[in-house]
């Protein structure tokens, strides 16, 4: 599905909390308000903070009226009013109420429907009964009410990992405790290659407190899963929009992304991966992955401005317009391999079976000789293939490949970049 990248909504203005009469239990409540875009993506939380300013303590049989000012700038579709209460446990948001009108800037909470998050999930994965492929998955369950749903924003939360050990026909049975006043439940299922423990993308629904997921149920995308830890608008600085991660966390969304410049003028259509500092030992660029494993990395890596291209594959030049002939690669300037790659070096051999992985970002040949060797195998994409049953042996390794040597007397191993 196409993903339209737009500026993040500004936060709402000042939030005020006023007590009144109702049927709320006595206690202290913490409240936050966040605007929703027309496509359902959350903007920024109100800047007054969670506990510092948006806290109110009420007596029994009370209500809380929440009021806020409209965000400046762009118009959205409504708001979510997040709330938690010590009475339901924890010190994090556990529920939100939906306000479906942009012009409505007040909400009165007067009933005890502030349920805590769904309890502990019971899961039973199988390698049969469905179409889930081998790998790890995240599960999350949320109770949905007529005016909102539960959410678990604790450190660990209700996000449970499970594994389909083998094959491509897995399924998983999930059950959970009932939540009072819930109309139905959203069950989020995400592969670890498309989601994180904090960000979920796809969900299916059920009115019961158990379900068997096969991967063939109808799933719906969650627009809120497309945002990062913090999304800010820097349009004044010439940047249309950006996603900022706060603790090296990753943001995932399932989409085709197209960046298009507006016609006329000097409008750029560019992708920017920006390191915070040249001294950072971090990467800025593009990772190309298959089932979560990195195959190509193109960008700036570590405290340098050098452009790095590392790979576990072959560069293929192709054209779709056959009238133009074959694809060509033109290089202006010399190709200079790194100095360390022109010199052979010894490999320190560890305990048998010993595995050496090529992390040198270049193809290399590993020579195994001497000692008493019983097996020499190459490992690629988690597949191990035996090449020899004794030394001497030589193994060609692409970047990311590994060689595994089993021995009773330590052999000598040398690597030579090519």
Q: Are residues 166 and 104 in the same domain?
A: no
Q: Are residues 285 and 367 in the same domain?
A: no
Domain final position from 265, 299, 331: 331
Q: What is the pLDDT of residue 238?
A: 33
Q: Are residues 102 and 133 in the same domain?
A: no
- Helices marked H in 362-401: none
Residue 88's closest CA among 24, 182, 156?
24
Q: What is the pLDDT of residue 180?
A: 82
Q: Are residues 165 and 208 in the same domain?
A: yes
Q: Are residues 78 and 20 in the same domain?
A: yes
Residue 30 maps to which CATH number?
A: 2.60.40
- Is 265 contained in some domain? no
Q: What is the pLDDT of residue 226?
A: 41
Domain count, the chain: 4
- Is 214 contained in some domain? yes
- Is 350 contained in some domain? yes
Residue 390's closest CA among 371, 404, 414?
371
- Is 177 contained in some domain? yes
User: What kind and span of H or E run contains 170?
Assistant: none
Residue 77's contacts (CB-CB under 8 Å, 6 or more residues apart) are 36, 37, 38, 40, 100, 102
Total Cβ atoms within 10 A of residue 239? 14
- Is 254 contained in some domain? no
Q: What is the pLDDT of residue 234?
A: 31
8 A C-beta contact, residue 257 and residue 3: yes
Q: Are residues 408 and 384 in the same domain?
A: yes
DSSP states of 279-311 as a string? T---EEEEEEEETTEEEEEEEEESSS--EEEEE
Q: What is the pLDDT of residue 200?
A: 60
Q: Are residues 14 and 105 in the same domain?
A: yes
- Is 284 contained in some domain? yes
Q: Are residues 313 and 358 in the same domain?
A: no
Total Cβ atoms within 10 A of residue 125? 19
Q: Are residues 105 and 136 in the same domain?
A: no
pLDDT along the chain (418 residues), means of 10: 50 87 86 84 61 75 91 83 70 80 93 71 91 84 86 62 85 91 88 56 88 88 48 33 45 53 62 72 78 72 77 58 54 51 81 91 86 93 90 88 94 89
Tokens of 330: 């033109």
- Separation CA 350–CA 371 (nearest Å): 13
Q: What is the pLDDT of residue 124?
A: 93
| Domain around 135 | 122-225
- Is 235 contained in some domain? no
Q: What is the pLDDT of residue 408?
A: 95
Q: Are residues 313 and 290 in the same domain?
A: yes
- Separation CA 349–CA 355 (nearest Å): 8
- Is 261 contained in some domain? no
Domain final position from 331, 357, 376: 331
């Amino acid at each position: 599905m196409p993903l339209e990248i737009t500026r993040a909504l500004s936060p709402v203005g000042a939030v005020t909390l006023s007590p009144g009469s109702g049927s709320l239990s006595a206690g202290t409540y913490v409240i936050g308000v966040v605007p929703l875009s027309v496509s359902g993506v959350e903007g920024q939380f109100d800047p007054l903070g969670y506990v510092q300013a948006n806290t109110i303590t009420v007596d029994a049989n009370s209500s809380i009226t929440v009021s806020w000012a409209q965000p400046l700038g762009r118009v959205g579709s409504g708001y979510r009013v997040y709330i938690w209460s010590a009475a339901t446990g924890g010190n994090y948001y556990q529920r939100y109420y939906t306000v479906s009108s942009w012009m409505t800037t007040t909400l009165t909470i007067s009933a005890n429907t502030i349920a805590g998050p769904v309890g502990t999930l019971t899961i039973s994965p199988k390698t049969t009964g469905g179409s889930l492929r081998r790998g790890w998955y995240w599960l999350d369950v949320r109770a949905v009410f007529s005016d909102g749903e539960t959410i678990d924003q604790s450190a660990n939360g209700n996000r449970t990992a499970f594994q389909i050990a083998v094959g491509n026909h897995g399924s998983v049975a999930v059950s959970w405790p009932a939540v009072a006043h819930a109309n139905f439940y959203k069950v989020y299922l995400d592969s670890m290659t498309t989601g994180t423990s904090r960000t979920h993308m796809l969900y299916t629904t059920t009115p019961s407190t158990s379900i068997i997921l096969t991967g063939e149920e109808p799933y719906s995308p969650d627009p809120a899963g497309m945002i990062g830890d913090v999304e800010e608008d820097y349009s004044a600085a010439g940047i249309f929009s950006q996603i900022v991660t706060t603790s090296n966390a990753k943001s995932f969304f399932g989409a085709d992304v197209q960046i298009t410049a507006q016609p006329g003028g000097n409008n750029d259509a560019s992708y920017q991966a920006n390191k915070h500092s040249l001294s950072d030992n971090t990467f800025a660029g593009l990772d190309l992955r298959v089932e979560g494993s990195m195959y190509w990395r193109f960008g700036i890596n570590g405290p340098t401005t050098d452009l790095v291209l590392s790979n576990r594959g072959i560069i293929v030049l192709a054209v779709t317009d056959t009238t133009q002939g074959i694809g060509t690669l033109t290089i202006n300037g010399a190709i200079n391999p790194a100095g360390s790659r022109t010199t052979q070096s010894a490999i320190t051999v560890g305990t048998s079976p010993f595995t050496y992985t090529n992390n040198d970002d270049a193809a290399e040949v590993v020579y195994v000789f001497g000692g008493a060797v019983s097996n020499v195998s190459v490992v690629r994409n988690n597949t191990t293939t035996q090449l020899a049953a004794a030394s001497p042996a030589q193994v060609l390794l692409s970047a990311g490949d590994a060689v595994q040597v089993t021995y009773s007397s330590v052999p000598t191993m040398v690597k030579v970049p090519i």
